[in-house]
Chains A and B, each alone.
Chain A
């Protein structure tokens, strides 16, 4: 099980791979859409890669609630627990 810091850095790598954004721009308080300019299809790609990386399941209906990077980290952390 990964710590929240490990989840954040893992997520940053996934975001970097999908969008090319530098990993240090992926901070907990950043909004996926407003700050990082990630569209809905890229978000799905990030979600599926995160599922694989962290061994969790993130159903479609929960994806829309993941507004910020911190929301995603908390969700993954809880799903792992």
Chain B
């Protein structure tokens, strides 16, 4: 029997991270011109003071390109060193081709393998899991992982339960070979029975038929509804998501620690998905994290950036000196699906 040749297994780690934070800051006062609310109400329920929204002509690919260039520079690499691009997003407005391929070309990474993954706010941690295994298995030398979302395109500014939450941004990490374990085992999963908890309000097909009807008879459409075109806004059942996130996800984070053979006190920084400061506080309480662990709270001025939130918060913790180079970070992403992924990583 002829055997199949395979490269020797090796370890993987994060070599560099980068972030793109759109320049336009939206404070709670501006949000309150869209919905009947107040700065105090929004802060009390979410911890959010400001969020960033990208300009109209800056999309998922542009934000990714900036974050990726910074991550590559931090890793001491260029686009041509990248063998695979894994991009996590829920807001790239083209069904096909994948944003990852367009990004790879812009970075000079062609012919790197390139594909998008859709795992909501857990997307980046799914990407780290894939990248780690691609490197370990020898399928790729260096993998660029991007978490990016432009949720402002899919935010209903008049929805009192989400208008103040969602935001835009991109974070990137380069994963490459290492002599030591730099990415712990990923604990992940999904619960499609709760698919309605966070979702697009309408499908593209519903948008098409509503648009056709509105075009055929604009006056009737205007009379029938204030919003005749069914845009696929994001909607979520906040209470259900809160319950799931705190009481189901804290044990997942604990399992990621256990799988890595690491104790809570060994962690330098806890980087949960930045969905809501109240969720973060409750998770920290459930996990009984010691005070020595820095807890990333990028949400305060970045809002909920979905797939971008974990890498953005990780980059921030490092830039602010809360997460030392070579230190350990516990990452957990959770969101639409419902889906989740958590792992312990060594910081570059």
Please tell me if A79 contacts chain B, counting CB pairs below 8 Å: no
Within 8 A of B (CB), among A11-55: 39-41, 43-45, 47-48
Contact partners of B240 in chain A: CB under 8 A: 60
Please tell me if A63 contacts chain B, counting CB pairs below 8 Å: yes
Docked-complex contact B243 and A44, CB < 8 angstroms = yes
Contact partners of A47 in chain B: CB under 8 A: 243
A63 to B240 Cα, complex, angstroms: 10
Docked-complex contact A60 and B243, CB < 8 angstroms = yes
Contact partners of A48 in chain B: CB under 8 A: 243, 246-247
Q: Which A residue sits closest to B238, measured CB to CB? A: A40
Docked-complex contact A40 and B247, CB < 8 angstroms = no
Question: By the criterion of a CB under 8 Å from any partner CB, how many residues of chain B are at the interface?
Answer: 13
A43 to B242 Cα, complex, angstroms: 11
Contact partners of A63 in chain B: CB under 8 A: 239
Please tell me if B10 contacts chain A, counting CB pairs below 8 Å: no
Q: Which A residue sits closest to B41, measured CB to CB? A: A39
CB distance from A23 to the nearest CB of B (A): 21
Contact partners of B282 in chain A: CB under 8 A: 45
Please tell me if B322 contacts chain A, counting CB pairs below 8 Å: no
Docked-complex contact B239 and A40, CB < 8 angstroms = yes
Q: Which B residue sits closest to A51, measured CB to CB? A: B247
Contact partners of A44 in chain B: CB under 8 A: 239, 242-243, 246
Q: Which residue among B44, B45, B239, B240 has the maximum number of chain A CB atoms within 10 Å of its CB?
A: B239
Q: Which residue among A40, A41, A48 has the maximum number of chain B CB atoms within 10 Å of its CB?
A: A41
Docked-complex contact A39 and B243, CB < 8 angstroms = no
Contact partners of A43 in chain B: CB under 8 A: 239
Please tell me if B278 contacts chain A, counting CB pairs below 8 Å: yes
A23 to B243 Cα, complex, angstroms: 24
A28 to B239 Cα, complex, angstroms: 23
CB distance from B112 to the nearest CB of A (A): 42
Contact partners of B246 in chain A: CB under 8 A: 44-45, 48
A48 to B248 Cα, complex, angstroms: 11
Contact partners of B239 in chain A: CB under 8 A: 40-41, 43-44, 60, 63
Contact partners of B243 in chain A: CB under 8 A: 44, 47-48, 60
Docked-complex contact B45 and A41, CB < 8 angstroms = yes
Q: Which A residue sits closest to B194, measured CB to CB? A: A60
CB distance from B65 to the nearest CB of A (A): 37
Contact partners of B278 in chain A: CB under 8 A: 41
A43 to B246 Cα, complex, angstroms: 13
CB distance from B236 to the nearest CB of A (A): 12
Contact partners of B242 in chain A: CB under 8 A: 40-41, 44
Q: Which A residue sits closest to B282, measured CB to CB? A: A45
New A-B pairs, 6, CB < 8 Å, besides A41-B239, A41-B242, A60-B239: A39-B44, A40-B238, A41-B238, A44-B246, A60-B243, A63-B239
9 chain-A/chain-B pairs, Cβ below 8 angstroms: A40-B239, A40-B242, A41-B242, A41-B276, A43-B239, A45-B246, A47-B243, A48-B243, A48-B246
Residues on A lying within 8 angstroms of B by beta carbon are 39-41, 43-45, 47-48, 60, 63
**Cβ-closest 7 pairs across A and B:** A60-B240, A44-B243, A41-B278, A40-B239, A41-B242, A44-B242, A44-B239
